[in-house]
Amino acid sequence: MKTALSALALCAAMTTPALAFDITDMSTEERAAFRAEVRAYLLDNPEVIMEAVAVLEARQQEQAQQNDAMLVQVNAQALFDDGFSWVGGNLDGDITLVEFTDYRCGYCRKAHDEVSELVASDGNIRFIVKEFPILGDASVVSSQFAIATRMVAGDVAYKSVHDALITLQGEPSEPALRRLATSLGLDADAILDKMGSPEVDRVITETRQLAGRLQINGTPTFVLGDQMLRGYVPLDAMRGIVADLRDKG
């Protein structure tokens, strides 16, 4: 009982201004006794430590969400209307979903079908793809090919190539990309010629700069409303977030 009362006195002293005290005013013996009582209480009640950790983690998560919301607001133009990223789904949708993706990323591949299902089944989501190659040269080549396809052949062709690249087995070599373009009825020579152009390079560079400002360093990363979802999110969870956003108006 003495130990518990001592701990309660400590909490009151630390949280109530009228009872606040300076531990440095204690004598050496008093300080040692005080610390011993606190230690004994925590050893007898270790769940208090876990409760404190949970409170800290909740505060940190809330602060991170507030920071993300601010980053989204500051970078809204580049996120939602950059003029070069592919936009699909319902162009007039009430919710916008942005995905930073890398074609060689295993979790991006896992998320692809679920994101497609979310957009198709919801019917009121505007979907934007950000080409964010971060996993080496093969990723860069894949993004260059997708971006060049959109520039040469338009949005419908881009979507077909995007869907094919996210499931492509093996390396995106020139012969493989040429076969892919030909299979989709596209001008392979024109697309391959465009891949190394300054226009294609600018898209990748600006997207990387945007990701840097948003503190994004992995794929997939989603922006949904004013939230950033850093990593793979299951379909049901994504639907729940969409529903919450709509409930908030």
pLDDT for 65-122, tens place per residue? 678 899 999 999 999 999 999 999 999 999 999 999 999 999 999 999 999 999 999 9
So what's the pLDDT on residue 9? Answer: 47
So what's the pLDDT on residue 115? Answer: 97
So what's the pLDDT on residue 73? Answer: 95
- Average pLDDT over every residue of 189-211: 98
pLDDT tens digit sequence for 101-115 = 999 999 999 999 999
Among residues of the chain, what percentage have pLDDT more than 90?
Answer: 71
Q: Is the pLDDT of residue 176 over 70?
A: yes
So what's the pLDDT on residue 64? Answer: 63
Mean pLDDT lowest for which of 36-50, 181-195, 224-238?
36-50
Strand blocks (E) in the chain: 86-89, 95-101, 125-131, 221-224, 227-230
Q: What is the mean pLDDT of the chain?
A: 88
So what's the pLDDT on residue 203? Answer: 98
Tally Cβ neighbours within 10 Å of residue 216. 21
Q: Give the global pTM.
A: 0.77
So what's the pLDDT on residue 35? Answer: 80
CB 100 within 8 A of CB 221: yes
Two tokens at 10?
């400590």
So what's the pLDDT on residue 114? Answer: 97
CATH class of 76-248: alpha beta
Task: Give burial (CB, 10 Å; 0-12/13-18/19+) of 73.
Answer: exposed
So what's the pLDDT on residue 51? Answer: 74
Better pLDDT: 32 or 216: 216
pLDDT band at residue 21 under the 50/70/90 scheme: low
pLDDT band at residue 45 under the 50/70/90 scheme: confident
Please state, in angstroms and rounded to a whole number, the distance separating the CA atoms of residues 220 and 128. 13
Please state, in angstroms and rounded to a whole number, the distance separating the CA atoms of residues 65 and 37. 38
State residue 6 phi and psi, 5-degree precision.
-65, -40
Please state, in angstroms and rounded to a whole number, the distance separating the CA atoms of residues 129 and 91. 13
Q: At what angle do helices 2-15 and 28-44 cross, to 10 degrees?
A: 110
Residues forming CATH 3.40.30.10 domain(s) in the chain? 76-248
Which residue is associated with the tokens 């093969």?
Answer: 138
